[in-house]
């Protein structure tokens, strides 16, 4: 059959089936199950009206159950079986197996690193861009350009950045932008400024921002007039401890920046440098997600009442105080939603790692680890166990996001 006819037939059957389902189910409900006649007419009408919404919801519930609930249950079942034993039940052996593998913990460590860097960088840059573009005449054009990467697939973006990171032998022209720039440094004053001083200043700025966030988290706990619940205290202290660790780590790396010896004049294979190659991969996702964060946060900033900003200016607040003490507290709910949405994307990241390094050179992540187990090792038990772990990591954030969205709607 011609594809055009197949498409038309599919549309006809789909639309006709929906219309037929709703029409005949209503007829069956009103004429057969609860007819509106006889001494029980009023009672039957009420019963029919109680059941009718579920008739309309049934197709959606059935589809969600078929495409969401069933795969989860089946994946959980497969994670408790062993393919090499003809699908025999082995309990938690698959989980013990992956927990004993170094590659799994490498994937967990890298996923945690992605979780720290990507949501924070994407949200911070998106917020900064949203604030700055609202203050310039060509702000809408700038927003369009920054949002444009959202239209590119993860694989397409990976190919673009793979070309940026490309390495050729020393005697050939470098087509990778990063290596072409790298070869311009020769160890002189420019090299010191861009490769040592600038990174050190960035690390110091990051340490300062992290220290300020820690202060904002801990300050309410020291205020005797504000009483916080035990859960809030634990969360604030845990977040504060994490922030303090980032401050210490940043300050330690400032010293290392000045002591490291660079291989000037030699092209670098950026994607094979352990630890740093993960950051080169993160840049791709940050580049894509910044546009999303910018659009959402720009809308939130525009929704701030002008009266609060004008009152702060009248009281003598400078632009930084207006931004951090007036604007940011009013959109903190939106910032958290953007942060958690990007976090969900990070936990499931697969395309970028698969297309650029395939998990080699210590860049493995959980989704790519699951793919390797399922489709390369043909081990459905370990692969399904990995999928369940990813689901367990994603679910709390997803549930929290939905609950927060419902609270805002109320």
pTM here?
A: 0.75
Query: How far is Cα 315 from Cα 221, in angstroms, rounded to an integer?
Result: 27
CB-CB contact of 29 with 55 (8 Å): yes
Q: Which CATH code, of 3.40.710.10, 3.40.50.1460, 1.10.3720.10, 1.10.10.10, is assigned to 79-172+272-410?
A: 1.10.3720.10
For residue 82, report the phi and psi dihedrals to the nearest 5 degrees: -125, 120
One DSSP character per residue, 177-209 reads HHHHHHTT--SSHHHHIIIIIHHHHHHHHHHHH
pLDDT band at 224 (very low <50, low <70, confident <90, very high): low
In the chain, % of residues over pLDDT 90: 3
Cα–Cα distance for residue pair 201/168, rounded to 1 Å: 31
Strands (DSSP E) along 20-154, which ranges? 81-82, 88-89
Tell me the Ramachandran region of residue 166: left when phi exceeds 0, alpha when psi lies from -120 to 50, beta otherwise.
Answer: beta
Q: Check if the beta carbon of residue 297 is closer than 8 Å to that of residue 146.
A: no
State yes or no: pLDDT of 362 exceeds 80: yes
Our measurement of the distance from residue 209's CA atom to the centroid of its chain's CA atoms, rounded to an integer in Å, reads: 22
Per-residue model confidence as pLDDT tens digits over 72-127: 888 888 888 887 777 788 888 888 888 888 888 888 888 888 888 888 889 988 98
Residue 336's Cβ-count burial label (10 Å; 0-12, 13-18, 19+) is: middle
Residue 228's pLDDT band (cuts 50, 70, 90): low
Give pLDDT tens digits for 245-268. Answer: 888 888 888 887 777 777 777 788
Residues 6+ apart with CB under 8 A from 71: none
Domains of the chain by residue range:
3-63, 79-172+272-410, 184-264
Cα 83 to Cα 105: distance, rounded to the nearest angstrom? 23
* pLDDT for the residue numbered 286: 92
Of the two residues 147 and 258, the one the predictor is more confident about is 147
Summarised one tens digit per residue, pLDDT across range 319-336 is 878 888 888 888 888 888
pLDDT digits 0-9 by tens, 50-63: 888 888 888 888 88
Report the distance separating Cα 47 and Cα 51, nearest Å.
6
Nearest partner of 199 among 256, 274, 245, judged by Cα = 256
Residue of 348, 366, 349, 368 whose CA lies nearest to 358:
368
Selected residue with higher pLDDT from 211 and 87: 211
288 band by pLDDT with thresholds 50, 70 and 90? very high
């Amino acid at each position: 059959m011609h594809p055009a006819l197949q498409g038309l037939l599919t549309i006809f059957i789909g639309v006709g089936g929906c219309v037929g389902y709703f029409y005949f189910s209503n007829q069956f409900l009103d004429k057969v199950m609860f007819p509106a006649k006889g001494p029980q007419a009023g009672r039957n009408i009420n019963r029919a009206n109680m059941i009718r919404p579920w008739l309309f919801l049934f197709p959606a519930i059935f589809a969600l159950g078929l495409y969401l609930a069933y795969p989860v249950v089946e994946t959980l079942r497969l994670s408790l079986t062993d393919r090499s034993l003809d699908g025999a039940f082995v309990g938690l052996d698959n989980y013990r197996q992956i927990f004993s593998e170094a590659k799994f913990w490498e994937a967990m460590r890298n996923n945690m690193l992605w979780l720290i860097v990507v949501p924070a960088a994407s949200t911070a840059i998106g917020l900064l861009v949203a604030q700055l573009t609202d203050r310039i005449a060509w702000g809408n054009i700038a927003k369009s350009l920054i949002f444009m990467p959202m239209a590119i697939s993860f694989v397409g973006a990976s190919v673009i950045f793979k070309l940026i990171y490309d390495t050729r032998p020393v005697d050939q022209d470098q087509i990778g932008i990063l290596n072409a720039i790298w070869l311009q440094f020769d160890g002189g004053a420019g090299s010191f400024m861009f490769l040592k001083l600038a990174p050190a200043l960035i690390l110091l700025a990051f340490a300062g921002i992290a220290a300020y966030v820690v202060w904002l988290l801990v300050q309410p706990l020291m205020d005797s007039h504000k009483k916080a619940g035990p859960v809030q205290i634990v969360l604030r202290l845990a977040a504060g401890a994490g922030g303090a660790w980032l401050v210490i780590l940043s300050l330690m790396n400032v010293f290392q920046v000045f002591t490291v010896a660079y291989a000037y004049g030699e092209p670098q294979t950026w994607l094979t440098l352990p630890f740093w190659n993960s950051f080169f991969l993160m840049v791709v996702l940050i580049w894509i997600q910044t546009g999303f964060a910018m659009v959402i946060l720009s809308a939130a900033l525009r929704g701030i009442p002008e009266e609060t900003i004008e009152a702060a200016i009248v009281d003598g607040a400078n632009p930084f105080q207006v931004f951090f003490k007036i604007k940011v507290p009013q959109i903190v709910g939106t910032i958290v939603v953007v942060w958690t949405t990007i976090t969900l994307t990070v936990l499931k990241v697969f395309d970028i790692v698969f297309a650029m390094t395939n998990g080699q050179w210590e860049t493995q992540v959980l989704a790519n680890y699951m793919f390797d187990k399922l489709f390369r090792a043909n081990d459905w038990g370990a692969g399904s166990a990995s999928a369940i772990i990813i689901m367990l990591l994603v679910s709390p954030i997803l549930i929290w996001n939905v609950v927060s969205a419902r609270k805002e709607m109320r």
